[in-house]
């Protein structure tokens, strides 16, 4: 079976030269393990960070190491009672056609209830990130205004729709007309294009009463446009800064940090970074219960882009980071 191994640390956007495709025999499971055939691989922005040799909340992928990632897979062999052959499970098989994993860590899915790909998006880690970051840190109140960018992606789309469920006004920011139209289908009250000429003016018109919660996914010029519009006691869950994950953006003009500090003082802002895993114990059961109900009732809609084939993983990854994707990016690896 084939897998992507990191061959070099990318400079800017990753290229094919940064990976080796390695072929290995399909393993047999040891006690407690299951062998899984990958059906779908999730592609997420954090993977770009794992390609760099920088200190972060998780260690980088070693040179020669398997590219990590969440997967929906079929159990093909098992030495554990936790799963049975034929089960469809959520695991962490990485950019590979097969994986061998501890069976106890797998979540058995019910594909008859909801499509299995949702376990990688709206009902998976990205959806949970939105739920936990928005409710635990953003704390939107009825009548308040919530803004989010990368708003058609799995995190942003859930942030806006949960904000609506909680009675807030939702402003979505995304790249391009097609995504703006999708935001309206999702029920966002306002949909803005950050690639348009005047985001600051558009934000002012869309949020005449200011912004109470800005769920930060991107950083860069979007953050700079939002900052002056934040209200007194505004909350900013800092979830990601995808505008600069390739390290190429000119991102921090001189004095910008002082400006942020000054505004956080004069507006009594709460700016709080988080990694979703810190909330798993306290909130994951609630998330699965609420979000599954909302997806089934149609209160939360989602868009997925399913790219076909192991060979297209890298192109799909770059498209997701650059924004030429359309919704949660997953790659179909096996039938």
Name residue 89's beta-bridge partners: 73, 108
CB 80 within 8 A of CB 35: no
Interaction of residue 45 with ligand NDP, rule CB under 6 A: yes
Give the strand pairing for 230-238 and 270-273. parallel
- Which residue is it, tokens 């790219």? 307
Within residues 118-137, the interface with ligand NDP by CB under 6 A covers 126, 129
* Closest distance to ligand NDP from the beta carbon of 38 (Å): 19
Secondary structure of residue 284 in the 3-state scheme: helix
Burial class (CB in 10 A: 0-12, 13-18, 19+), 258: exposed
Interaction of residue 320 with ligand NDP, rule CB under 6 A: yes
* Closest distance to ligand NDP from the beta carbon of 277 (Å): 7
Query: How is the beta sheet containing 270-273 ordered, strand by strand?
Result: 190-193, 169-174, 145-149, 211-215, 230-238, 270-273
Interaction of residue 154 with ligand NDP, rule CB under 6 A: yes
Contact mark string toward ligand NDP, 155..194, x via CB under 6 A: xx-----------------xx---x--------------x
Secondary structure of residue 219 in the 3-state scheme: coil
CA distances from 175 to 137, 210, 256, 257 (A): 26, 22, 24, 26
Binding residue for ligand NDP, selected from 21, 22, 275, 288, defined by CB under 6 A: 275
Interaction of residue 217 with ligand NDP, rule CB under 6 A: yes
Interaction of residue 152 with ligand NDP, rule CB under 6 A: yes
Determine the interface stretch with ligand NDP among 151-159, 201-209, 253-261, 288-296 (rule: CB under 6 A): 151-159
* Closest distance to ligand NDP from the beta carbon of 85 (Å): 32
Burial class (CB in 10 A: 0-12, 13-18, 19+), 60: middle
Interaction of residue 14 with ligand NDP, rule CB under 6 A: no
Handedness of CA 67, 71, 77, 83 (dihedral sign): positive
Determine the interface stretch with ligand NDP among 66-74, 79-87, 228-236, 324-332 (rule: CB under 6 A): 324-332
Binding residue for ligand NDP, selected from 153, 161, 231, 303, defined by CB under 6 A: 153
* Residue whose CB is less far from ligand NDP, 130 or 230: 130
Q: How far is CA 332 from the centre of its chain?
A: 18
**Residue count, binding to ligand NDP (CB under 6 A):** 32
Interaction of residue 69 with ligand NDP, rule CB under 6 A: no
Interface ranges with ligand NDP (CB under 6 A)? 44-46, 126, 129, 149-150, 152-156, 174-175, 179, 194, 217-218, 220, 222, 239-240, 242-243, 274-276, 320, 323, 325, 328-329
């Amino acid at each position: 079976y084939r897998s992507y191994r990191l061959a070099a640390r990318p400079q800017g956007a990753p290229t094919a030269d940064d990976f080796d495709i390695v072929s290995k025999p399909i393993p047999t499971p040891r006690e407690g393990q299951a062998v899984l055939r990958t059906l779908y691989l999730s592609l997420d922005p954090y993977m770009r960070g794992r390609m760099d040799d920088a200190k972060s909340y998780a260690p980088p992928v070693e040179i020669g190491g398997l590219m990590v990632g969440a997967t929906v897979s079929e159990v093909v062999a098992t030495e554990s009672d936790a799963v049975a052959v034929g089960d469809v499970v959520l695991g962490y098989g990485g950019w590979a056609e097969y994986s061998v994993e501890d069976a106890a860590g797998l979540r058995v899915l019910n594909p008859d209830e909801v499509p299995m790909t949702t376990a990688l998006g709206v009902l998976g880690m990205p959806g949970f990130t939105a739920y936990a970051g928005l409710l635990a840190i953003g704390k939107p109140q009825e009548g308040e205004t919530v803004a989010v960018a990368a708003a058609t992606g799995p995190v942003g789309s859930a942030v806006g729709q949960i904000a609506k469920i909680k009675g807030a006004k939702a402003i979505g920011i995304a790249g391009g007309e097609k995504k703006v139209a999708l935001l309206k289908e999702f029920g966002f009250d306002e949909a803005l294009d950050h690639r348009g000429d005047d985001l600051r003016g558009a934000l002012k018109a869309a949020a005449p009463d200011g912004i109470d919660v800005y769920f930060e996914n991107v950083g860069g010029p979007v953050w700079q446009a939002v900052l002056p519009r934040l209200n007194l006691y505004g909350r900013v869950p800092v979830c990601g800064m995808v505008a600069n994950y390739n390290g190429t953006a000119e991102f921090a003009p001189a004095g910008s940090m002082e400006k942020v500090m000054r505004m956080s003082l004069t507006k009594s802002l709460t700016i709080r970074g988080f990694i979703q895993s810190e909330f798993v114990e306290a909130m994951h059961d609630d998330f699965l219960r609420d979000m599954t109900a909302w997806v089934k009732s149609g209160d939360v809609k989602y868009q997925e882009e399913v790219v076909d084939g192991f060979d297209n993983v890298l192109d799909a990854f770059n498209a997701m980071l650059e924004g030429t994707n359309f919704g949660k990016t997953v790659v179909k690896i096996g039938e």
